[in-house]
Structure 1
């Protein structure tokens, strides 16, 4: 048995953030991850993150090998590719990062602050006593022997698999399962191409429900001759995103760009694309990142929201542990603060997602062509501002 003040499951962007902040305040933090230390941060990702997240959290901007390109905005294409929305502006500036190097930076900062890494460990089950989560049982990846990791608080930052949250009993009052309609199955590849894509300072998102049912596909620039290209579909569609990417994007719609290209890395995964969980806390328990559905429902970006959630969780946990027991009630401010900071934006974008998924390609083409929704509307929505379109305004746009 090993004892800590806080056990953090998952050394991703959210997990490393909460571990660093708590360790820097003198708490004994155990940081558990399935991967070995050198592999932490190496994961399938869109690799894009907004500059504003670094500004809001006081983090150093990516630089050196960590930074692969500065992004000035996003281009959104209609299904027929005849209409393009340019979504740009200082608040939309961002970075394409080397996800592995960035993840290693966050891990190093957490360990330098005093966190203890327990790598190559698989979490098997939660330890619950008298209605409180008291730790987890974990096993080394290459061993059958289990070890109990105890903590006053357990933070589930394990990603969409939700290694802890998914195994909690009902009395913890935390959602344990996510509907398939609220999950995206995505596949992406890093590819070396023969020519630099046009306007390489913009990320490209393509709306096409025939190609990507319930989702979209993307082409993001990484270096002068390298792109992050992928496709996501709603999980309930039972479609294979890799097969769709190859059939439609590589061989048909963007054949010229990808002809003669070479694969650098490929992989897929699940992404929750919905509002945050109604509650991410229980007695002795907190969820952050993908495990808490802290993800932008429109584009699936989760790096920034996970670090926001990790920051809020660390600040509340530190105050709670200094004065008393980490009950659901004492940890509840995490829910409130996240909703105020980012969750309300997520909820609005979730409604927008459901609306978009209910349209046809013809309706998307028509709406974008005649600006029933304009660039500034999408910009306001992406920044978390209210999007209000009355009947008179929309009618004016039609005629």
Structure 2
């Protein structure tokens, strides 16, 4: 073989080899197809929960999932706020079933996974009320994996001293006064997390007037000067005027306040149910009970605030096929049973088992027997309006001036709602 033929032969062999092994770009893509990236908030319970299901997914599939770490929830929230301007996003992203999530859909930041839902019969796994949290029009954009509610944590020693928490308002208020006489701080709130105060407003509306009015409030369809809302403010003011809130602890986050509940300073800790898992000692947890918000209008059906947590695929994901595989895994009954066990929340999948934690079991009974769900104020109201509103609600606990609260809310409402 002469020199020119030898060169041509070598070039041919090299070309064949390059096609066989792929270019550097295609190699990167092939490696990408075996590893997912996922953004989660910094909450320890969220991290621990996903560690368990990620390990299970990796064992079953041989694929890897890398969690992007954020030191604080502020860091995670900054990432979410800047998502629109982020080119290289994680494949999968944690979120709430909220208007903020739906605004991300409108900005084309979320992958449409309707085919995944329809091809795998996922509509049979979730109630329509929960499925709509990830739905716009006829399209689906994520998987709801857990739901929870709000209510009162209280300890066995309260039952031993004054009996169980009453279920109706007047008896509940009398019960709280007894607790105050015994030296307890009955309630607390957090100025740093004003959504806690918003939960009080939400439940008083739900218990006095029901879900329809609350949804009208979320949609900006009713004035805060409405007589019904004024009555709700007056009802709430009753608790504040009786000095049942501990203002000394309000500068703390609820996570920091929890120790005061465990040390018997706070009698009734009004918070979301998964917070039970922040108490590490199982023996301590077993001494804690959970009660729904008391009835005010006995003629009304009982509605509950039921926030939902979801996972979605970024529209800029470079690994959408594997991301969809993970979402399908996340939707399954066994997976959500595991999530419920680790998180203390209820599963979104109606066929899943509820976690064994007594508080989780109790809260799930409350959710299951409710006549309907609200999404939680800061998830269902206009995102910019709720930032103003929750601060006003929190301020109201310190300064229960109904006219001032009404003026602040009503002056802000037209800025964010067109109706």
More strand by share: 1
TM-score (norm 2): 0.30
Instruction: Name the structure, 1 or 2, with higher relative contact order (CA <8 Å, separation 6+).
Output: 2
TM-score (norm 1): 0.31
**Of the two, which has the highest radius of gyration?**
2
More helix by share: 2
